[in-house]
Structure 1
Amino acid sequence: MRISVIGCGYLGAVHAAAMAELGHDVVGIDIDAAKIKQLSLGLPPFFEPGLQAVLTSAIASSRLSFSTDMADARGAQVHFVAVGTPQKNGSHAADLTYVDAAVAALLPHLGDGDLVVGKSTVPVGTAERLAEVISSSGSTALLAWNPEFLREGFAVADTISPDRLVYGVPSGAEGKTATALLNEVYRDALARNTPLVVTDYATAELVKVAANAFLATKISFINAMAEIAEVSGADVTQLADAIGYDARIGRRFLNAGVGFGGGCLPKDIRAFTARAEELGRSESVAFLKEVDSINLRRRQRVVTLTVSQVGRPVYEANVAVLGLSFKPNSDDVRDSPALDVAVQLSGLGARVVATDPQGIENSRARHPQLTYCVAIEEALRDADAVVLVTEWPEYLSIDPAWAKTLVRTPVIIDGRNALDAAAWRAASWTYVGLGRP
């Protein structure tokens, strides 16, 4: 099929490359000329494992191209809208400026029977409004909503081999037409019996935010248990293991630590809360405010633990921060707990030296006041405390005996409860986990 992807940020670039890898003829469109030039050369503007190989392959096959001209979307049968929906300044609500602008710019180039497909995460009610915008323009194009469920670090695989597909389509014959077109787009995935849910606009919009709200709640729940464990002497990691054996609960996302971050979960639960308030149902998701509060509290807890363990006034202390991206295998530092911890410690006067395999440049652009280094050895040298806040494999494999020869004081704060506490303690380190005795 001939496909256009409007917006070539994280979601759009991955989607465009993956669709071309599946054999479709794809054009990615974005107003950022520098980004388009970089993508056209097969160079991702962000770090995502496997993306460069797929980009290079798709461009070499001539199935994938990039453009800044919306007119190049003309002739495509399916148009995916994959622009950002950031949090509004001064509000928890989602900013739909880019979604609205993308649809408005696409309208003059739509052909009869085209399908516009929303991929962006939006407040419920957005799709219905945009369907009316398309219809009132005189276009015969249809609208569907097809939420994404990508995990950063696994986004290419999640697009090519999704764990489920959700279509939000209009009722009646138009819905059948939209479904048929999307079935052709995702033919390979459906041939592998990928679960498919065909539903209405509102449900499709809610699926993504509800999923993120549930995951955020699960993470904050175990972090709330960590707070209780810390004052009772219990071990939250063993607690999570024990309750995780219950099939109704499961062990995944029950890892206590510094909490969640990134460009999705924090903003999505806040936007969900804001939209519920607009709908007059704020009480239905009031618990999400506490989910957010618990999450932010864990960052402060890591800072507090670090200050309490450095053994000297914090303004005289050297602190090594291991990790800046919000999760491993990503350079995304949006709402990153790791970067937040580094900034808070620096604000208290500590000399912070932070390192990350991929997140340094994005962090430097946001917080140039921090000291950054690439080498783990350089970050550890003369540290009064080491804080692990992103569980990159290279940090988990650090030899504690070797690390002890570099630091001034062997103290480590495990903000992810990811290290072998016994091994670090055996090497004469003061090991402090979250919710662990």
Structure 2
Amino acid sequence: MTGGVLAHGVGSRHDLPLSPFYAFAGAFTALFVSFLALGLLWSASRFRGDEAGQPVPPLLQRLADARTTRHALRGLGLAAAAFVLVHLLLGPDDPERNPAAGTVYVLLWVGLVPASLLLGPVWRLLNPLRTLHLLLCHARGRDPGAGRPVPARVGLWPAAGGLLAFTWLELVLPEPGASGALLLFLALHAVTQLAGAVRHGSRWFDHADAFEVYSGLFARLSPLGRRPADGRLVLRSSFNGLDATPQAAGLLATVCVLLGSTAYDGFSDAPSWISAVQTSPLGRTAAGTLGLLGAVALVAALYALCAGATRLICGPLPHPLTAFAHSLLPIALGYLVAHYFTLLVTEGPRTVMMASGADSPVAPEPPLGPGGLAVLQVSAVVLGHVLGVVAAHDRSVRLFPPARAVAGQLPLLILMIAYTIGGLTLLIA
């Protein structure tokens, strides 16, 4: 695949046999049935956030917390970073023969999703910048956590900006796989993160590192979690992890970047959009930038309208914009699975083979045929929205009086339907 094709998730399959009637009918049926069932049968909050979960066996706890395990993961992260830098500096500029682009766009960006879903926020230990900051602090005899507190108003806004910059690099830049472009982005990212860590300590990465926040948000859906009260690893329902998502400033912006960028990835392959970009007087890059920003802004505007309508129906909330933002995470996950599954299972093995020394290996065929891929894509989008409805309903019955809890979810249901129509339309188109 060329650098331009690498930037798009669906990649090797553009002719999937999606039936519009069955896709939309199934989606609307699933949403309405789940909404009605929840309204009739789910009258009290059942999720307990970080308080929920059964402790894992002591042996697994000791293995996860062992210094050897942590040192090994940090060393692996540093080795992977060195591998990418060496190939960007000394390898060919052609992504067909250089595994660096595939490592960043496929193994890191896409691979972090299943890794975080299975194991939790793995990038926190693998993050080479966090490890480098730790080593520098040890060399200077300084506590890595020492520094000025990160202001509450900052929240996750730096991570949202970093994610937007990365998706711009991946989806808008004409040659996203070029070594120079990747080197420049990684250098700016490293300088920004290390400068922030020097000022605020290691907690800066929790707020500002785009990949660490990205991994941490999807880790909220992992069955493996850690209780803040005693640090114990627990097995829990994914809904409890999702319910414990902190309502930090910038959370909504971060999730909207994930949703909007995936939506842009979907419609940027449409012939009409390609023609508009190529003939735009602004130029390809400027037009693509406006398209990406417009997609993110549209997602955010629809959610803001929904939050305003909920407030009119049910009354004010302490955090009106972030109270239900966690319910968008399953939707973002569904879109990512639908758009990037084929990229991971084809370009992932190809990148590994290339890194092992193979010269321009051929990407394997996806394990599912066109029909199977179509079912997977639609199912991922629909299931993501149904999980979002469940998460929003439980939060609603906790925040609002019983008489208003179901009515207050009507704007959220309309929002879910709008997102579903958009997601399925992009897949079908």
TM-score, normalised with respect to structure 1: 0.24
Relative to its length, the structure with more helix (as a share) is 2
Larger Rg: 1
Q: Which has the higher contact order (CA 8 A, sep 6+)?
A: 2
TM-score, normalised with respect to structure 2: 0.24
